[in-house]
Amino acid sequence: MKPKGDDTGLEIRVRGQVQGVGFRPFVWRLARDMGLTGDVRNDAEGVLIRLFGEAKGFEERLRAEMPPLARIDAVECRDIQGAAEGFEIVASQAGAARTRVTPDAATCEACRQEVFDLKERRAGYAFTNCTHCGPRFTIVERLPYDRGNTTMAPFEMCAACRAEYDTPEDRRFHAQPVACPDCGPQLWLEPKGEGEPLARAARLLCNGDVIAVKGLGGFHLACDARNAEAVVRLRQRKHRPAKPFALMGTMDMIRDWCEVSVSEEALLRDPAAPIVLLTARQMPDGIAPGQNTLGWMLPYTPLHHLLIAAVGGPLVMTSGNLSGEPQVIGNVEALDKLSDFADAFLMHDRDIARRMDDSVERITPHGPMVLRRARGRVPGTLLLPKGFEAAPQIAAYGGQMKGAICLIKDGQALLGQHLGDLDDALCFEAFLKADADYAELFDHHPEVVACDLHPGFRASIHAQTKGLPVEEVQHHHAHLTACLGENGWPLEGGKVVGVILDGTGFGTDGTVWGGEILLGDYRGLERKAWLKPAPLIGGDMAAKEPWRNALARLDQAGLSDWADEAFSDKPLAMARMAVEKGVNCPMSSSVGRLFDAVAAILGMCVDRQSYEGEAAMRLEALARTSGGLSRYSLAIGVPVASMVGGALDPSEMIRYFVAKRDAGARVADLAFAFHLWLVRCFEGAVLSAMAGTGAQAVALSGGCFQNALLLDLTLKSLGDALPNTPVLIHTKTPANDGGLALGQALVAAARRL
């Protein structure tokens, strides 16, 4: 920036995550430090700064020294006339500017130290926070984001807190949830008794009890992770035989149990504090049966820090809910619903305005992977790709199993939090509430709504009730475009080939898709190849009971005798009759169900899966133990799929696996070989789909790409086969149905641009 004369200055527009993160006081300090005059304010577009004086180096320092939770998307400068005395922070005008709200952030290091420092007035205080950390989205009830509009409203600041709140030099300047033991929320343990609640809770945990703990976005059920009996008790009470439990502990505790790379540590320490899947050195009993990874998070509120310190070891922290229902957030609701699970309740009197599950992420050799997007990530926004600048306001309603809403406004996409399985009545209620909540909070007035092509999805039915034009988007087209969108692929970027390996989604031909090679862009798609369909025996039951998929594929491969023997305790005659008559046996090209079939053929989860994706996750975990160079030599024998009229037939592969299994091959090697088969089969299909079409890139999406081994092998093989073609993957949004709404919104926008 060039030096300015006496009465000329600069107006600087800053866009990004710059509100509610201490940006204005930071600008105030910076301006004063540089001897500049002028002012800074929040408005609808972000932060607006007016500077008078020698501003050289200001923008550089703005970017280099900004507060930890801030993110700058763009800085625009223009010359202005005028002058000012001193430098001022201009208060937001109510109504005019709708201050954005940022995601919840884990306790910062300064607050953590304060809580453990006996000399500080906040020593041991579970609700300590500052401008750089603490609750945000989970406490805001309406905008603007001011204390009176949050669940902190009932707590009147004491003089000491008020002084911090009013002082621009203070770390707590304008920190809306600022509080201390004298004026803020209080903790108690139910049933009530003598002694300090945290210490009592810790004692109970060390005794093997299960405690319901009220956190940031909901209640958790906690127990001592080192106590195998306590873990079993929690599993029995929750009727959750095998689904992995998340763990919480300090960095040292995590390192005791798992390998932690530099990037994994950085992700654990991110202000979002997600659950990060880490490779375990050895698997403790009962935490994650059949897996070789553990999901860990660092303590992310002072309450968690104090509890972990008092226990002196890691805790299981699983969401406090009835099976399939949303996480409990209210005190009364918790006592009502969780009393069969918990021996005691660690509660407090700050209400949770909005339910927010823990985010789940992992680091792959190709960057981060989001498995569940919620606390700490939402309501973060994504800049829309080039060409979408003029997109109208759109609300997209996502899929069924992993509800999530996406809003488009002002060139940004806001993908909302994971809302659970909308088949559950309470999850659907939460979905409806989220729709109204988002519209209100973000002042969103859609011109168009978008939904899945599936007419039976609750989210699709809801879309039809809005009284607005509805854009129906094919499930796998939405997966493809979600991947394009998060990679910033321009609207006019040209066609790409999508490899969409998924559970199930309604196809344009009325059958159920799930293993597709698509050629398309934001506007449309062409189905180039697919996994040869097999019947989903018993419809939805097929996703729950892997033997059904195994039976379908074995019969197709001419191995009915083998199936008769392997599944002799199952109602095979009835199942085959249903297939023959076409009763509740829709045909599907789902790769997710092929995973189930192969798992069952290899003897895993034959009868049923106790949670969605269990068979595939076990297959991946097992394949990882195959190990060594033998993996690649093993590939030589794996058959390649034959393609007839676009359909990739796995029959030869099925026959190969059955023969190998009968010959006593290691199951781990076969699990690995199955991954290789998939990769080679779809690589071949990609190459033929690319030929002569001018496709510019390949995009990988669909729930199966949450399998890091499959992703890794696919990227390696495509990298070798197509060295000059970019391969786009998901790193910020889920590859599974949690990302669908983003893709739907982009398709709806593209159709109107």
Q: In whole angstroms, what is the distance from residue 488 CA to residue 726 CA?
A: 13
Look up tokens 């006592």; give the residue. Answer: 335
- CA 661 vs CA 315, 665, 672: distances in Å: 40, 5, 13
Give the shortest CB-177-to-Zn ion separation in angstroms.
Answer: 10
Q: Which two tokens stand for residue 280?
A: 């375990």
Pick between residue 133 and residue 277 the one whose CB is nearest to Zn ion.
133
The entry of Zn ion, Fe ion, none near residue 108 (CB within 5 to 8 angstroms by kind) is: Zn ion
Q: How many residues bind Fe ion (CB under 5 A)?
A: 3
Q: In whole angstroms, what is the distance from residue 76 CA to residue 265 CA?
A: 35
Give the shortest CB-297-to-Zn ion separation in angstroms.
Answer: 18
- The identity of residue 623, as a single letter, is A
Q: Is the bond preceding residue 144 a cis peptide, omega within 30 degrees?
A: yes
Report if residue 106 touches Zn ion, rule: CB under 5 A: no
**CB neighbours of 338 closer than 8 A, spacing ≥ 6?**
212, 219, 221, 320, 328, 345
The entry of Zn ion, Fe ion, none near residue 161 (CB within 5 to 8 angstroms by kind) is: Zn ion
Give the shortest CB-135-to-Zn ion separation in angstroms.
Answer: 11
Which of residues 161, 253, 308, 408 is near Zn ion by CB under 5 A?
A: 161
Pick between residue 22 and residue 505 the one whose CB is nearest to Fe ion.
505
Which of residues 130, 152, 482, 529 is near Zn ion by CB under 5 A?
A: 130
What element of type H or E holds 501? strand 496-506
Pick between residue 9 and residue 515 the one whose CB is nearest to Fe ion.
515
- Interacting span for Zn ion (CB under 5 A) from 174-182, 382-390, 448-456, 677-685: 174-182
- Interacting span for Zn ion (CB under 5 A) from 80-88, 158-166, 354-362, 576-584: 158-166
Nearest to 293 by CA among 723, 709, 655, 701: 709
Give the shortest CB-112-to-Zn ion separation in angstroms.
Answer: 8
Give the shortest CB-120-to-Zn ion separation in angstroms.
Answer: 13
Give the shortest CB-602-to-Zn ion separation in angstroms.
Answer: 50
Pick between residue 180 and residue 690 the one whose CB is nearest to Zn ion.
180
- Nearest residue to Fe ion, by Cβ distance, number only: 502
- Tell me the H-state helices in 172-301: 197-206, 228-238, 251-257, 262-268
* 258 secondary structure, DSSP code: B
- Tell me the H-state helices in 539-666: 541-544, 546-556, 560-566, 572-581, 591-601, 614-624, 630-635, 651-662
Report if residue 614 touches Fe ion, rule: CB under 5 A: no
Report if residue 742 touches Zn ion, rule: CB under 5 A: no
**CB neighbours of 562 closer than 8 A, spacing ≥ 6?**
554, 658
The entry of Zn ion, Fe ion, none near residue 502 (CB within 5 to 8 angstroms by kind) is: Fe ion
Q: How many residues bind Zn ion (CB under 5 A)?
A: 10
Give the shortest CB-703-to-Fe ion separation in angstroms.
Answer: 5
Give the shortest CB-485-to-Fe ion separation in angstroms.
Answer: 16
Is residue 413 within 8 Å of residue 370, measured between CB atoms? no
- Tell me the H-state helices in 557-613: 560-566, 572-581, 591-601
Pick between residue 129 and residue 549 the one whose CB is nearest to Zn ion.
129
Beta bridge partners of 213: 220, 346
Give the shortest CB-531-to-Fe ion separation in angstroms.
Answer: 14
Site map for Fe ion, 553-592, x if CB under 5 A? ----------------------------------------
Q: 172 to 211, contacts with Fe ion by CB under 5 A? A: none
Nearest to 466 by CA among 423, 441, 435: 435
53-60: Cβ within 8 A, 24+ apart: 53/4, 53/9, 54/3, 54/4, 55/1, 55/3, 55/4, 55/9, 55/10, 56/1, 56/2, 56/3, 57/1, 58/1, 58/10, 58/12, 58/30, 58/31, 58/34, 59/1, 59/12
Report if residue 183 touches Zn ion, rule: CB under 5 A: yes
- Interacting span for Fe ion (CB under 5 A) from 130-138, 584-592, 720-728, 737-745: 737-745
Is residue 512 within 8 Å of residue 588, measured between CB atoms? yes
Q: At what angle do helices 546-556 and 572-581 cross, to 10 degrees?
A: 60
Site map for Fe ion, 500-529, x if CB under 5 A? --x--x------------------------
Which of residues 737, 738, 747, 748 is near Fe ion by CB under 5 A?
A: 737
Which of residues 97, 108, 198, 519 is near Zn ion by CB under 5 A?
A: 108
Report if residue 158 touches Zn ion, rule: CB under 5 A: yes
Look up tokens 């001193």; give the residue. Answer: 86
Give the shortest CB-747-to-Zn ion separation in angstroms.
Answer: 41
Give the shortest CB-308-to-Zn ion separation in angstroms.
Answer: 18
- Interacting span for Fe ion (CB under 5 A) from 298-306, 445-453, 466-474, 733-741: 733-741
Which of residues 36, 180, 658, 679 is near Zn ion by CB under 5 A?
A: 180
**CB neighbours of 241 closer than 8 A, spacing ≥ 6?**
235, 289, 610
Q: In whole angstroms, what is the distance from residue 24 CA to residue 32 CA?
A: 12
Q: Which two tokens stand for residue 535?
A: 């019947």
- CA 328 vs CA 320, 341, 356, 433, 643: distances in Å: 6, 13, 10, 15, 49
Beta strand 470-473 with 406-409 is unpaired
- Interacting span for Zn ion (CB under 5 A) from 77-85, 124-132, 406-414, 703-711: 124-132
Which of residues 21, 62, 133, 334 is near Zn ion by CB under 5 A?
A: 133
Pick between residue 278 and residue 369 the one whose CB is nearest to Fe ion.
369
At CA 707, angle to CA 247 and CA 593, rounded to 5? 115
Pick between residue 104 and residue 502 the one whose CB is nearest to Fe ion.
502
- Interacting span for Fe ion (CB under 5 A) from 153-161, 174-182, 248-256, 494-502: 494-502
The entry of Fe ion, Zn ion, none near residue 737 (CB within 5 to 8 angstroms by kind) is: Fe ion
Pick between residue 385 and residue 505 the one whose CB is nearest to Fe ion.
505
The entry of Fe ion, Zn ion, none near residue 209 (CB within 5 to 8 angstroms by kind) is: none
Which of residues 47, 51, 111, 478 is near Zn ion by CB under 5 A?
A: 111
Q: In whole angstroms, what is the distance from residue 220 CA to residue 321 CA?
A: 8
- Interacting span for Zn ion (CB under 5 A) from 61-69, 131-139, 393-401, 550-558: 131-139
Is residue 582 within 8 Å of residue 525, measured between CB atoms? no
Site residues for Zn ion per CB under 5 A = 108, 111, 130, 132-133, 158, 161, 180, 182-183
Site residues for Fe ion per CB under 5 A = 502, 505, 737
